[in-house]
Structure 1
Amino acid sequence: MSDLARLHDPIVAIATAPGRGAVGIVRASGRDLRPLIDALIGAPLKPRHAHYGPLRAADGSAIDHGLALHFPAPHSYTGEDVLELQAHGGPVVLQLLLARCLEAGASIGLRVAEPGEFTQRAFLNDKLDLAQAEAVADLIDASTEAAARSASRSLGGAFSHEVDALAERIVRLRMLVEATLDFPEEEIDFLEKADARGQLSAIASAVQRVLGQARQGALLREGLRVVLAGQPNVGKSSLLNALAGAELAIVTPIAGTTRDRVSETIQIQGVPLHITDTAGLRDDAAASDEVERIGMARSWESIASADAVVFLHDLTRLDEPAYQAADAQISERLRQVDPARLLQVYNKADRTDGSARDGLLLSAKTGAGLDALRQALLERAGWQAAPEGVFIARTRHVQALRRCAEHLALATEHAAQADAQLDLFAEELRLAHQALQQITGRFSADDLLGEIFSRFCIGK
């Protein structure tokens, strides 16, 4: 059976999380669910009203007593007929209900839903655009209050409205440009009379504004990967514990206590920070054993993929020649790291006067300087205090907006030439418009849709 044909199958799934709970939901969606309603309820259901009663097995006995709600098409989440059965949240009860639905729905081809298939149908039936559909998963996965609020705004259409408004402005300009292509002798006059350059400049500025908001939204969703790096026993584990507010990593005076990566996610101003404490860095020849060498290799792997690297120094050992040499070796290797991602931090300020040092001073033991470090990490990420208008966004949204901005920049170059060629101008506007449409799904490859919805949970 082709994937296209499967999209018309009626589907069913347990829509609540695995495990025990007070209430569990089994949800079905399809073009006509009357056979399912007749088999489990035994009577018609008034649309969008909760009906309490027995949810029946094949022999007429009650599997459970609960609520049944029928949402006829098109006034439902998926745009199809939807039936929700709300029962007690025991896993056995829900599995029995699911099995009964599949049995009763065999005549209409009812099958178990794939991950994200309910929301995929909502998208395909124009109940949600692609950005809103993604916001459903982002709201479920939100790790901070700010991320949840931003995902809710995107689900409500805030991001989509911004993108649609930009697309509409580009379309209006495209119409003017393409209509003028049939009158080549009027091309230059057109650019002046219609203020095409002015319109284009205003659109480009608006795209940059939305791009800035999308970057903030992507940061709220994905967080910042921070790696704590430095020599053994400089206080990386103590700093991780101080930032997390919990004893996550073992701390001892013995160098090399941390043999592998230890990670924790915290939040600063609603932004998730995925912090990794790595094994102490030193020359391979100085490593005590193979385990330590493997730990250091993993440390460098984490550093290479980090959004921000905190290079931690020990203020109490800065005058030791061996320590200085080892720090110099690490610094040389860290030259491969983008300076914008590297943060020099000096620890153990409570034990010495390090006021003259070029970098952040702190004490993981007392907590002095931690607020300055938190702020510096947010600045490294490009975070600004979250205004109420921030919407959740994904990396693909940011990339699409960047492509749109690039095409608008090329369009500006064509428009600025003395012998402006409107066909090239029009083509760049078309590509900019297409990039925006990829955000909301009005122009999207099938494989992209499959990748997005496969990451949803089953039942959603």
Structure 2
Amino acid sequence: MSLSADTIAAVATPPGRGGVGIIRVSGPGVPGLAEQLLGALPAPRLAGLHRFCDSAGETIDAGLALYFPAPHSFTGEHVLELHGHGGPVVMDLLLARVLELGARQARPGEFSERAFLNDKLDLAQAEAIADLIDSSTVQAARAASRSLQGEFSARVQVLLDTLIELRTYVEAAIDFPDEEIDFLSDGEVQRRLERVVENLHQVQSQARQGCLLREGMSLVLAGRPNAGKSSLLNVLAGRDTAIVTPVAGTTRDVLREHIQIDGMPLHIIDTAGLRDSEDPVEKEGVRRAWAQIEQADRVLLVIDDQLGLSADDRAILERLPAQLPHTLVYAKIDLSQR
């Protein structure tokens, strides 16, 4: 455990007005600071009503104070939480008083940093805190919560422990070749290593899924001009985001919409129709379209069902990056006579 030498403080609730505002303090100076601010050190882990006083003894606010002695706290240090009224002026006055008593303003993320340094969190759990706060869907919040509880870290630790054990067997077989027991001959080590590889692929898949839930999937609508891309964008967005006309080349810039489908955040990107053009504006739109395609997680290649899969569509398919997942979407089927 690596306890810090200084004491930090910060407002733990979002900026603005609210019913409750919280000041969090962590570090070795918490007991003395609490005695000066509250008149006495609160009982550990019990919420008590206290007056929060300034240097002249005047009451700044009255609220709840909670004291968590080290190491039984979020950071592993002495922690004091002051729960007062959530007005900006009250919070500013209370924080200023705490800083006056010897604490310093915490850097962004410093409480989590101290929790990590004091072995209260590992890196995956520390990242999960930010993911949980920033989650935009229920599924993303649940995935971050599971990671915060150590589920992902536990799977990685099992893999690590198994690899260390297998390494021990292999080193023993190499260092003691004359022993009667050969750990490698019966194939058990090989079978266990294969299971490790399989589990590693599952962990990688889980990590990729978590990344998509956190950051969202970039889904690019691509295709020839007037194939129906903008109509598809409007349907997915649930509103008329893009202009739809029978004129080819209506969309010349990149349009974006952010939606959710079954809890997955999706960044839908409508692009200019892909074709050769001498028009400088349209050429720039096509260039931007290909730039978006190269950065996409998946491409929806929109095909005009009236024309079917044309040579131009096949040329676009051939130009797509080899590892980029894509789906063919046939549009205008209500107009098609095929």
Tell me whether the two structures share a fold, i.e. TM-score over 0.5.
yes
- Please say if 1:307 is aligned against 2:297: yes
For residues 89 and 272 of structure 2, the distance between their equivalents in structure 1, rounded to whole angstroms, comes to 46
For residues 230 and 193 of structure 1, the distance between their equivalents in structure 2, rounded to whole angstroms, comes to 56
Question: For residues 65 and 232 of structure 1, do their structure 2 counterparts lie closer, same or farther at Cα, with a shift above 3 Å needed?
Answer: farther
Distance apart, 1:332 and its partner CA:
4.5
Q: Which residue of 1 is the match for residue 264 of structure 2? A: 271
Asked if the contact 2:220–2:292 (Cα under 8 Å) also holds between the matched residues in 1, the reply is yes
- Please say if 1:345 is aligned against 2:308: no
Asked if the contact 1:232–1:279 (Cα under 8 Å) also holds between the matched residues in 2, the reply is yes
The CA RMSD over aligned residues, in Å, is 2.8
SS in 2 for 1:284: coil
Question: For residues 177 and 46 of structure 1, do their structure 2 counterparts lie closer, same or farther at Cα, with a shift above 3 Å needed?
Answer: same
Question: For residues 60 and 259 of structure 1, do their structure 2 counterparts lie closer, same or farther at Cα, with a shift above 3 Å needed?
Answer: farther
1:308 maps to amino acid: R
Higher strand share: 2
Distance apart, 1:80 and its partner CA:
0.5
Q: Which residue of 2 is the match for residue 23 of structure 1? A: 20
Q: Which residue of 2 is the match for residue 244 of structure 1? A: 237
Asked if the contact 2:74–2:120 (Cα under 8 Å) also holds between the matched residues in 1, the reply is yes
Could you give the per-residue CA deviations for residues 31-74 of structure 1, whole angstroms, max 9, x where no partner exists?
A: 23123213322222111111223222222222222222111111
Q: Which residue of 2 is the match for residue 370 of structure 1? A: none
SS in 2 for 1:297: helix
2:160 maps to amino acid: A
Question: For residues 24 and 296 of structure 1, do their structure 2 counterparts lie closer, same or farther at Cα, with a shift above 3 Å needed?
Answer: farther
Distance apart, 1:340 and its partner CA:
4.9
Q: Which residue of 2 is the match for residue 13 of structure 1? A: 10
Asked if the contact 1:263–1:275 (Cα under 8 Å) also holds between the matched residues in 2, the reply is yes
Residue-pair matches, total = 337
Match of 2:135 among 128, 131, 142: 142
Distance apart, 1:273 and its partner CA:
1.7
Distance apart, 1:345 and its partner CA:
1.8
For residues 134 and 203 of structure 1, the distance between their equivalents in structure 2, rounded to whole angstroms, comes to 25
For residues 24 and 253 of structure 1, the distance between their equivalents in structure 2, rounded to whole angstroms, comes to 56
Asked if the contact 1:78–1:127 (Cα under 8 Å) also holds between the matched residues in 2, the reply is yes
- Please say if 1:176 is aligned against 2:169: yes
1:14 maps to amino acid: V
Distance apart, 1:198 and its partner CA:
3.0
Question: What does 1:436-451 align with in structure 2 at a 5 Å threshold?
Answer: none
Task: For structure 1, list consecutive stretches of 5 or more residues without a partner in the other structure.
Answer: 355-460
Q: Which residue of 2 is the match for residue 111 of structure 1? A: 104
Distance apart, 1:242 and its partner CA:
1.0
- Please say if 1:281 is aligned against 2:274: yes
Q: Which residue of 2 is the match for residue 230 of structure 1? A: 223
For residues 80 and 140 of structure 1, the distance between their equivalents in structure 2, rounded to whole angstroms, comes to 23
Asked if the contact 1:181–1:187 (Cα under 8 Å) also holds between the matched residues in 2, the reply is no
For residues 89 and 32 of structure 2, the distance between their equivalents in structure 1, rounded to whole angstroms, comes to 24
Distance apart, 1:186 and its partner CA:
4.4
Distance apart, 1:267 and its partner CA:
2.3
Match of 1:95 among 92, 97, 102: 92
Task: For structure 2, list consecutive stretches of 5 or more residues without a partner in the other structure.
Answer: none
For residues 77 and 298 of structure 1, the distance between their equivalents in structure 2, rounded to whole angstroms, comes to 47
2:200 maps to amino acid: V
Q: Which residue of 2 is the match for residue 331 of structure 1? A: 315
Distance apart, 1:253 and its partner CA:
4.5
Q: Which residue of 2 is the match for residue 400 of structure 1? A: none
For residues 154 and 23 of structure 1, the distance between their equivalents in structure 2, rounded to whole angstroms, comes to 28
1:154 maps to amino acid: S
Distance apart, 1:111 and its partner CA:
1.9
Q: Which residue of 1 is the match for residue 72 of structure 2? A: 75
Distance apart, 1:79 and its partner CA:
0.4
Distance apart, 1:236 and its partner CA:
2.1
Q: Which residue of 2 is the match for residue 51 of structure 1? A: 48
Tell me the TM-score normalised to structure 2 length: 0.88
Give the % identical residues.
Answer: 54
For residues 49 and 6 of structure 1, the distance between their equivalents in structure 2, rounded to whole angstroms, comes to 23
2:67 maps to amino acid: H
Asked if the contact 2:220–2:298 (Cα under 8 Å) also holds between the matched residues in 1, the reply is yes
Question: For residues 250 and 66 of structure 1, do their structure 2 counterparts lie closer, same or farther at Cα, with a shift above 3 Å needed?
Answer: farther
